[in-house]
Copies of this chain bind each other. A is one copy, B any other.
Amino acid sequence: MTSTETPVDNGVNTEFLLTARDMLTAQPEGAQFTWRVTNTWVKGTHSRTSVDGFFGLGAEQKHRADYQFDGDHPELFAAEDNGPTPVEMLLVSLASCLTAGVAAVAQNREIQLKSVAATLEGDMDVRGILGADPEVRNGFNRIKVTYKIDADASPEDIRALVAQSQKRSAVYDIVTNPVNVVVEVN
C-alpha cells in the first residue's frame, strides 16, 4: 500500500469491536446479553412482534425505535398474507447476520467492499407442518445461501471472507446447531 491510497472504509468500526473484545474478556459479566421480543396475536395466523430493547453491558438498552413486524401465513394457505411467513423471517435473520459479518470481516482484513448481494433459499416439505407424514420434518431440509460480492480482493480472499463470517455468525450457529428452547404458559 502507498500512503496516497484511500483507506478501506466499509462503515464498520472494527477498532471499537476489538476494544470491546478485550474489555469483555477482562469483564465477562458484561458480555451476558438477553435479546427480547414481545408478540401479540392479531387474528387467524396474523401476529405482531415488537423489538424495542435488550439487556447488555450490565444494563437495559433501548433501540432507536420500537421496531414492529407483522407475521402471517400466505393466501395459498387460506390466510391473509399480512406479512412474511415465519420461515421467511428466519431467512431474513440469517441473511442480515451473514452480511453484517461479511462487512465487519472485510473491514478487519482491509478489503474494500463495493457491493454485496445474497439470495437465500430454504427447501421445505410442508407435509411436515401439516402433520401429513411423521417422517417429514417441520423445518427446512436445507438452506442454500448464494453470495455475489464485488470487492477489491481476489476470488479466493472473498470466499475466505464469507467463510469467516459464517464462523462468527450468531444466527448461522443457531440454525446449524441445536438451541434449547423452554416454553412456559402463565
Contact residues of A with B, CB < 8 Å?
Answer: 10-13, 16-17, 20-21, 24-25, 28, 31-41, 43-47, 49, 51, 54, 56-57, 61, 63-64, 67, 69, 71-79, 81, 83-100, 102-104, 113, 115-133, 137-149, 155, 158-159, 162-163, 166, 168-186
Contact = CB atoms under 8 A, between A and B. Distances in A.
Contacts of A67: 83-84, 88
B96 A69 contact: yes
Number of copies of this protein chain within its complex: 2
Contact of A54 (B28, B88, B113): B88
Most-contacted residue by chain B among A24, A81, A92, A155 (CB, 10 A): A92
Nearest to A104: B45
Q: Which secondary structure characterizes the binding site on chain A?
A: mixed
Given A35-B124, A47-B99, A86-B96, A129 B182 contact: no
Nearest to A82: B64
B181 A145 contact: yes
Contact of A117 (B38, B77, B123): B38
21 contacts: A10-B43, A17-B130, A20-B77, A31-B132, A36-B121, A36-B122, A37-B88, A38-B118, A41-B99, A41-B103, A51-B89, A71-B97, A89-B92, A93-B93, A128-B173, A131-B168, A138-B172, A146-B186, A147-B184, A148-B186, A155-B185
